[in-house]
Amino acid sequence: MAKRVDHIGILVSNIDEAIRLYRDCFDAKIDKIETLPERGVKAAILSLGQGANLELLEPLPNSNMARVLEKRGEGLHHITFEVDNVDRELSHLSERGVELIDKKARPGFEGMVAFIHPKSIRGVLVELCQKA
Ligand code: ZN
């Protein structure tokens, strides 16, 4: 069961400009910024206070995410629910016929994560995360 919305993932073409925008317009604070070659992105977690976070994602050149950015442009990419146990939620969803992208939890930017196919969630890419 989802405990809360952990963060909203946003695809951007330039992470430094996007960070400045969210900082200047919404007073967001940078929690973490890292390059994640295995996910093909440079990612930043921005805190808006009271546990509300944004995850900005700038694709690395020639990555799958670069192709997504090229095709769809900047904007909302995914929404992330925090859960107690990602693998338990995956089997619960799978039993209900929900199509999974990840069959098992894997290490993510923050803790263990898994993605659910947007086809099964009304066009929304959903990430589950379990904090370490
Ligand atoms: Zn995310």
DSSP sequence for 24-82 = HHH--EEEEEEEETTTTEEEEEEE-STT-EEEEEEEPTTSHHHHHHHHH-SEEEEEEEE
Instruction: Tally Cβ neighbours within 10 Å of residue 68.
Output: 15
Interacting residues of 33 by C-beta distance below 8 A, sequence separation 6+: 15, 19, 42, 43, 44, 45
Residue-level pLDDT, tens digit, the chain, 132 residues: 889 999 999 999 999 999 999 999 999 999 999 999 988 999 999 999 888 999 999 999 999 999 999 999 999 999 999 999 999 999 999 999 999 999 999 998 889 999 999 999 999 999 999 997
Written as six digits, the tokens of 78 are 């995914």
CATH hierarchy code of domain 4-131 = 3.10.180.10
Integer Cα distance of 79 and 126 in angstroms: 5
pLDDT of residue 51: 87
* Dist. CA 63 → ligand 1 center (Å): 17
pLDDT of residue 69: 97
* Dist. CA 53 → ligand 1 center (Å): 10
* Dist. CA 43 → ligand 1 center (Å): 9
* Dist. CA 97 → ligand 1 center (Å): 23
The answer to whether 11 and 57 are in contact (CB under 8 A) is yes
pLDDT of residue 109: 85
Interacting residues of 85 by C-beta distance below 8 A, sequence separation 6+: 130
* Dist. CA 77 → ligand 1 center (Å): 9
